[in-house]
């Protein structure tokens, strides 16, 4: 079963173009904060609806855009591209992991404790209770003090 990326190619083009436009507008000193207040939550909502994990990349892009000197950098575009790359890697990873695991030689039978030199874990048993024993207080035992 091959896993497909959650973001299609046309969506990638639109996301990157909108991010580039937002970064161009961010060159204007005061307008950049207003643009970020609209653009970054919009991207977050879009990725949330698509089920794409952002891993804090949008927050990093927002921090870069909020700092006046760094706002000339394409922080929004960089964070969007990073999220898209992570989505593509996550879609391709299971296939690559399966190929790698197929190349690793494995034992066909589980190891036994006789002669292998490594101890095998003992099977779990349900003997006894996991509750701690209760300790009776002198008042509840009926005894008197003094």
Structure tokens given for 141: 């035992």
Please say if the pLDDT value at position 43 is more than 90.
yes
- What is the per-residue pLDDT across 72-115, written as a single tens digit (0 to 9) for each? 899 999 999 999 998 888 777 776 776 776 676 654 544 555 55
pTM here is 0.62
Please say if the pLDDT value at position 121 is more than 80.
no
**Which residues fall within 8 angstroms of residue 53, CB to CB, at 6 or more apart?**
47, 86, 90
- What is the per-residue pLDDT across 78-88, written as a single tens digit (0 to 9) for each? 999 999 998 88
- Map tokens 């030689």 to a residue: 105
- What is the per-residue pLDDT across 27-40, written as a single tens digit (0 to 9) for each? 888 888 899 899 99
- What is the per-residue pLDDT across 131-144, written as a single tens digit (0 to 9) for each? 555 555 555 555 55
The mean pLDDT value for 8-17 works out to 95
**Which residues fall within 8 angstroms of residue 143, CB to CB, at 6 or more apart?**
none
The mean pLDDT value for 45-60 works out to 90
> Quick one: how many helices (H) and strands (E) in the chain?
4, 0
């Amino acid at each position: 079963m091959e896993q497909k990326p959650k973001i299609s190619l046309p969506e990638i083009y639109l996301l990157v173009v909108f991010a580039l436009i937002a970064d161009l507008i961010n060159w204007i000193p005061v307008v950049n904060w207003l643009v970020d207040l609209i653009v970054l939550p919009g991207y977050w909502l879009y990725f949330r609806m698509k089920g794409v994990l952002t891993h804090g990349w949008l927050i990093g892009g927002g921090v870069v855009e909020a700092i006046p000197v760094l706002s000339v950098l394409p922080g929004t575009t960089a964070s969007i591209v990073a999220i898209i790359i992570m989505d593509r890697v996550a879609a391709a990873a299971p296939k690559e992991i399966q190929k790698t695991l197929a190349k690793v030689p494995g034992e066909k039978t589980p190891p036994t404790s006789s002669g292998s030199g490594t101890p095998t874990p003992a099977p779990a048993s349900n003997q006894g209770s996991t509750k701690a024993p209760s300790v009776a207080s002198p008042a509840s035992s009926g005894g008197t003090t003094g």
